[in-house]
Amino acid sequence: MIKIEHSAGRSPTRLLAHSLLLCLLMAWGSCLSQTAAAALGEPQTEALSKAEPQALLEALDTGNFRAKGDAAQAIADSDAEQKTRWLQALLDGRLGKERRGERFYIITDDSGREWPIIDAITFEDAGSGTRRTVDVFRINNDLRTRIRGLLASLSLSAGDEASRLSAAKRLIGEISAENAASVRKMRDDEKSPSVRDQLDIGLALFEVQQGDAKALDTLRGNLDTRVRNTLAPIAAGDSALAAEAQAVLGGIESKRAWYDRAQTLFFGLSAGSILVLAAIGLAITFGVMGVINMAHGELIMIGAYTTWMIQQALPGQPGLALALAIPGGFLVAGAFGVAIERTVIRFLKGRPLETLLATFGLSLILQQLVRSVFSPLNRRVTSPDWLQGAWQINEALSLTLNRLAVLLFCLVVFAGLWALMRHTRLGLEVRAVTQNRAMARAMGVRATRVDMLTFGLGAGVAGLAGVALSQLTNVGPNLGQGYIVDSFLVVVFGGVGNLWGTLVAGMSLGVINQVLQPWVGAVLAKIIVLVGVILFIQKRPQGIFPPKGRTS
């Protein structure tokens, strides 16, 4: 029989009791730790969430631009919700750190000496700061380019198609070795063909910079200025890649030249439309009455000042003011025209020299009247939002909206006058008086009434020219003086009293002037145009479209 002895004189029952007690203590400790963790879980999570953004921003606090670029890349690759705003603030020079502390700030307005600032992590208001209290992070041009690429890459990963397309366009010329792989992946995942095309151009430009000649096929005929600026130094070399790049660049330059000609034509037509509006009223009065109205430029000025006055009466509503100025300018200038005809012109019929002198004196009186009432200073008319900016057709051709609107407005006014002359009794009487005044009077046409209405109509159209001109330049007392000579030139060149002749002559002179200006300058271009018109009139005194059946 074997006898079992227990060490330290402890019985099995006591050992079992101790083991049970130890298990109970361990279980109780585990429950306490879980309870404590549950109670402290939210602050710990919040602390961790604050620690990661703090560490990302801390990495930017260095004078080494390469290390700062790596820190920006780390921010872009992180899951921080604030990363886009951080990178944008860094790019704008508005991200900084507290000079004597650990907080990071975003400057919301750096125009004054004291800056309103917000906390960079929480975006809560942090009062104000100055150069003494906030150290703004500095970046160089290479880092600026890299940050733009990072922001564009972030925009590509989220947002609608329009925002992704805008981001893809911003990436052209800014793809680097650091983000090329991610851009390729985004390109493969992109579903929009237009966005993919822009990414292909950006990637092709990067690959050409790396020496890949095959990527040049993607860039053929591309009008983007960044593509042309990137290919220019490459084409200046003497390698095989340089020869191919030079061929691609030549095709791009040839294509841009055609669009430059189209833009010159547009500017010429827009300048011609102002000449047509300024001259078409003069063509009517000169054709019907034979009056050389030297105050026609001041009637244009009156229409422009009417536009300015209506806008002053409706502050903050430039669109409504412009809509009211169109009939307002016509009526006010037309009323001045009727008053001039009734008080001056009717007593000087048949005496062109006296009419010229009298209307020249009227022009001086109207100029001085405007200076006395409105002061000699120029006034600015605010264009509505829909007339500001440009219609960007492509990278080489853009049409300014205000000039495009003036061109369309000119065509509408011309169409309205043509319909008035062709389909109304007044138009029939005007054409009759223009062709043979004596015969028209014999047929019962009241020539005196026709003269008054015609002069008022011509003055009203001049007022419409002033309304259009107010959208292109400032309004001043001398506004109409620059158009009176050109208006007479258009009338004589097109054919006295002929609407179609005025339209063709005005547009032609505007285009010719715009074509000549880059070569010989503005002054010499006008001289060449004037000499050309004189030579043309010597060969064809009645203009492009001579009046039918007119007797003098």
CATH number at residue 456: 1.10.3470
Q: What is the pLDDT of residue 4?
A: 40
Give dist(CA 109, CA 74) in Å, integer.
Answer: 27
Task: Give pLDDT, residue 406.
Answer: 92
Q: How confident is the model at residue 443 (pLDDT cuts 50, 70, 90)?
A: confident
Lowest mean pLDDT among 49-58, 337-346, 459-468: 49-58
Residue 30, CA atoms < 13 Å, CB-side half-sphere: 6
Q: Is 453 within a domain?
A: yes
State pLDDT tens for residues 480-539. 888 888 888 888 888 776 788 889 988 998 899 888 888 888 788 888 888 888 888 888
The boundaries of the domain holding residue 435 are: 260-539
Sequence-distant (6+) residues with CB within 8 A of 257 are none
Residue ranges with strand state E in 360-449 = 390-394, 397-400
Q: Is residue 275 part of a domain?
A: yes
Neighbouring C-beta atoms of residue 110, cutoff 10 Å: 18
Q: Is the pLDDT of residue 2 over 70?
A: no
pLDDT score of 356: 86
In a domain, 85, yes or no: no
Residue at 508 is within a domain: yes
Can you give the pLDDT at residue 11? 53
In Å, how far are 157, 167, 179, 281, 308 from 160, measured between CA atoms?
A: 10, 11, 21, 51, 41
Q: Does 57 score more than 80 pLDDT?
A: yes
Distance CA 458, CA 497 (A): 11
- 366 vs 26, residue with greater confidence: 366
Please give the average per-residue pLDDT across 274-293, as a whole number.
82
The DSSP code sequence of 514-545 is HHHHHHH-HHHHHHHHHHHHHHHHHH-TT-SS
**Confidence band (pLDDT; 50, 70, 90) for 374?**
confident
| In the block, residue with structure tokens 């020219």 | 465
Position 510, amino acid: G
Q: Where do the H-state alpha helices sit in 290-317?
A: 296-313
Is residue 168 in a domain?
Answer: no
C-alpha–C-alpha distance, residues 209 and 219, integer Å: 12
User: What letter represents residue 535's amino acid?
Assistant: L
Query: Each residue of 409-433: pLDDT tens digit?
Result: 999 999 998 898 888 888 788 777 7
| Residue in the block written with tokens 């037509």 | 269
Q: In what order do the strands lie in the sheet with 134-136?
A: 125-129, 115-119, 104-107, 95-98, 134-136
131-168 pLDDT, tens digit per residue, is 888 989 999 888 888 888 788 777 776 667 787 888 88
Among 81, 49, 86, smallest CA distance to 158 is for 81
Res. 120: pLDDT tops 50: yes
Identify the three-state secondary structure at position 109.
coil
User: Confidence class of residue 284 from pLDDT cuts 50, 70 and 90?
Assistant: confident
Q: What's the number of domains the chain is made of? A: 1
Please tell me the predicted confidence (pLDDT) of residue 14: 56
Residues 217-239 have a mean pLDDT of 85
Average pLDDT, the chain: 82
**Is residue 480, in this structure, part of any structural domain at all?**
yes
Q: In this model, does residue 39 exceed pLDDT 80?
A: no
How would residue 40 be classed by pLDDT, with cut points 50, 70 and 90? very low
In this predicted structure, the answer to whether residue 339 has a pLDDT above a threshold of 70 is yes
Q: Is residue 371 part of a domain?
A: yes
AA identity, residue 455: F
Least confidently predicted of 22-31, 95-104, 418-427: 22-31
Question: Can you give 166-227 as a three-state secondary structure string?
Answer: HHHHHCCCCCCCCCHHHHHHHHHHCCCHHHHHHHHHHHHHHHHHCCCHHHHHHHCCCCCHHH
Residue 58 lies in a domain: no
Query: What is the model's pLDDT at position 179?
Result: 77
More confident residue, 19 or 70: 70
